[in-house]
Structure formats: structure tokens, C-alpha cells
Amino acid sequence: MYKQTVVIFLLCFFICVSCYEVPPAKLEAIWPKGLRVSVPDDGYSLFAFHGKLNEEMEGLEAGHWSRDITKSKGGRWTFNDKQAKLKIGDKIYFWTYVIKEGLGYRQDNGEWTVTGEYFN
């Protein structure tokens, strides 16, 4: 009986853990230049952003942008590139990675197109 209880508990634990989905990343073009990528803080210990401008990612490659963020600010985990020059119609291909409670989770195959909306 004890073994069955442990097995059921472990199965439920692994099913619940594998159900976690990384929230979609929020990408923003900054005026006059810059890129900001963020996700809400959900108890992570790390957020990583990997992306390329106007070129599709080949699997889980590092990309042009490849940064690990180790601290959240203002309730968000944020990657900033103050030098990125983005034009309307540019497309960013990306993937993100977070560590939550010691386990890693990815959001793969992200795509975002620069529209006319810029932020400061």
C-alpha cells in the first residue's frame, strides 16, 4: 500500500511539473533605438533570451542576442539592448528559458514583428 501511494504521488508530481508553461515574452521596440524583452516574475531564479533579427533561429542556437538575466526588477524579468536599431517590419525570431523551482522551461519558436508602436 505504501509503495502504491508513493508511486501515485510521484506520477502526480511529475505530471503537474511538466504542465508548467513559460508565459509569452513581451517584446517592445524602444525609440529612438533599443529592444526590451520581458516576462512577469513567477518565482524564477533565471530568465534567458536568445534571438535573431530578420533571420530564423536554427533550433536552440544562441542567436545574435544571447543573455541570461539573474534578477527581476519591478515584477518582471527583463532583457534590454539599448543599441538595437529596429525598423517597422523587422522580425525577431527567439526562444526564452526560465528556471523555476530548480527546473528549466522554454518558450520555443517565438516570432515578433516590429509595428509602428515604439516605447521610451
Helix (H, G, I), strand (E, B) or coil at 90: coil
Instruction: Provide the 3-class DSSP secondary structure of residue 81.
Output: strand
Question: What domain range is 112 assigned to?
Answer: 22-119
| 66 within some domain | yes
pLDDT above 50: residue 6: no
Question: What residues are paired with 76 via a beta bridge?
Answer: 40, 73
- Please report the pLDDT score of residue 107 as a whole number: 95
Adjacency order of strands within the sheet including 26-30 = 76-81, 35-40, 26-30, 118-119
The predicted model scores a pTM of 0.81
Which helix or strand (DSSP H or E) is residue 11 part of?
Answer: helix 2-18
Q: How confident is residue 7, by pLDDT bands cut at 50, 70 and 90?
A: very low
> Does some domain include residue 4?
no
CATH number at residue 76: 2.60.40.2140
Where does the pLDDT of residue 19 fall: very low under 50, low under 70, confident under 90, or very high at 90 and above? confident
In a domain, 80, yes or no: yes
Total domains in the fold of the chain: 1
CA distance 94 to 107: 9
pLDDT category at 11 given cuts 50, 70, 90 is very low
DSSP 83: T
Residue 76, in any domain of the structure = yes
**Grid coordinates of 42:** 513567477
- Is 8 a domain residue? no
Residue 60 forms part of a structural domain: yes
